[in-house]
Amino acid sequence: MTAFLGKILGSLLRYVYDIISTVGSEPGNFSYYAMAVIVTTIIFKLMLLPINFQQTKSTRIMGEIQPKMKVIQDKYKKDPQTMQVKMQELYKEYNYNPASGCLPLLIQFPIIIAFFAVFREPAKYAFTEPGLYDKISKVFLWIPNLDNPDPFLWGLPLLAAATTYLQSKLMTPPPASGNANDPAQSTQKMMTIFLPFLIFFSAKSFPAGLALYWVLGNVFTIIQQLISNRSSIKAREE
């Protein structure tokens, strides 16, 4: 599956690169390849936008019904059958499917893995002609070669960690009223703190092209989430 999707996404990267490389002259500190990575990432995120919106909607609804779920769980904790019936009624009232939050992730996961493979081995999936990938410039601002890790920790590794943290914060639903110590919320809070550190140390060793893709993807998702949050607040006010 990864190889199949990798060839498709690699073809997209190569197609974008071929178009960009015919426009004007290549800047000394901003290679055609870096431009192709940025444009391809944006196209990729736009392709996944409907799935991401569904996931965002599911997360928002879950945040709204959590207090009511807590009431049902407390009220019927000794009667599991009635609790299940009441939960189903609540889901139906809000037109919410508990599986709807997981489905987008399951769909995206193999695609994201394949995209990682493309940026980890561009010569295998995109620039397949012998020696072609070695000849092209891979400069991106302060990074001399996107094949190598960013030489500065304050560069893409820090940006990757910071955008991961902000994205996690924006996508985490608020705790249910009176339930701030809920184990699920505590786990989510721990992951919000732990994951950026994991991404930071990973980005130190990743090819900078892969870290650039991660940062751009996060920024895209953050903007999408901010727009979605504002729309939700406006809808509730109306």
pLDDT band for position 20 (cuts 50, 70, 90): very high
Distance (Å, whole) CA 148 – CA 157: 13
Torsion on CA atoms 223, 226, 232, 235, rounded to nearest 10: -90
What is 33-79 written as a DSSP string?
HHHHHHHHHHHHHHHTHHHHHHHHHHHHHHHHHHHHHHHHHHHTTT-
Q: What is the pLDDT of residue 140?
A: 95
Judge whether residue 233 has pLDDT over 70.
no
- Residue with tokens 């995206």, as numbered in its chain: 108
**Residue 94 main-chain phi, psi, to 5 deg:** -100, 5
Distance (Å, whole) CA 222 – CA 169: 10
Q: What is the pLDDT of residue 184?
A: 54
Give the tens place of pLDDT for each residue, 94-140.
877 766 556 656 766 787 788 788 888 888 999 989 888 989 999 99
pTM score of the predicted model: 0.75
Judge whether residue 91 has pLDDT over 60.
yes
CB atoms within 10 A of CB 57: 16
